[in-house]
Structure 1
Amino acid sequence: MLATRRIVLGVSGSIAAYKSAALVRLLIKAEAEVQVILTPSASAFVTPLTLATLAKRPVLQGFIKDEAGGVWHNHVDLGLWADALLIAPASANTLAALAQGLCPNLLTAVYLSARCPTLVAPAMDLDMYQHPATQRNLQQLRHDGVRVLDSPAGELASGLTGPGRMLEPEDIVGVLEQFFADKPLPPR
Structure 2
Amino acid sequence: MQGKRILVGVTGSIAAYKSALLVRLLVKAGAEVQVIMTESATQFITPLTLATLAKRPVVSQFVNDSTGAWNNHVDLGLWADALVVAPASAHTLARCAHGFCDDLLSAVYLSAKCPVFFAPAMDLDMYRHPTTLENLDRLESFGNTLIRAEHGELA
Deviations 1:2-40 (A, max 9, x none): 000000000000000000001100000000000000001
Corresponding position: 1:52 with 2:51: yes
AA partner of residue 120 (structure 1): F
Question: What is the DSSP-based 3-state SS (H/G/I as helix, E as strand, rest coil) of the residue aligned with 2:86?
Answer: strand
- Kept after mapping to 2: 8 A contact 1:11/1:87: yes
Q: How does 1:87-98 map to 2 (within 5 A)?
A: 87-98=85-96
Structure 1 residues 68 and 29: alpha-carbon distance in aligned structure 2, compared to 1, 3 A threshold: closer
Aligned to 2:149: 151
Aligned to 1:26: 25
Q: How far apart, in 2, do the equivalents of 1:75 and 1:85 lie?
A: 12
Question: Which portions of structure 1, spanning 4 or more consecutive aligned residues, are displaced by more than 4 angstroms?
Answer: 66-69
Post-superposition offset of 1:48: 0.3
Post-superposition offset of 1:66: 4.5
Post-superposition offset of 1:150: 1.2
Deviations 1:130-157 (A, max 9, x none): 0000000000000000000112332x4x
Q: How many residues align?
A: 155
What RMSD in Å do the two structures reach over aligned CA positions? Answer: 1.2
Aligned to 1:43: 42
Aligned to 2:8: 9
Q: How does 1:1-188 map to 2 (within 5 A)?
A: 2-66=1-65, 69=68, 71-154=69-152, 156=153, 165=154
Unaligned runs of 5+ in 1: 157-164, 167-188
- Kept after mapping to 2: 8 A contact 1:66/1:72: no
Post-superposition offset of 1:67: 7.1
Q: Rg bigger for which structure?
A: 1
**Identical aligned residues as a percent:** 63
Question: What is the DSSP-based 3-state SS (H/G/I as helix, E as strand, rest coil) of the residue aligned with 1:121?
Answer: strand
AA partner of residue 54 (structure 1): L
Unaligned runs of 5+ in 2: none
What TM-score comes out, normalization by structure 1 length? 0.80
Question: What is the DSSP-based 3-state SS (H/G/I as helix, E as strand, rest coil) of the residue aligned with 2:92?
Answer: helix
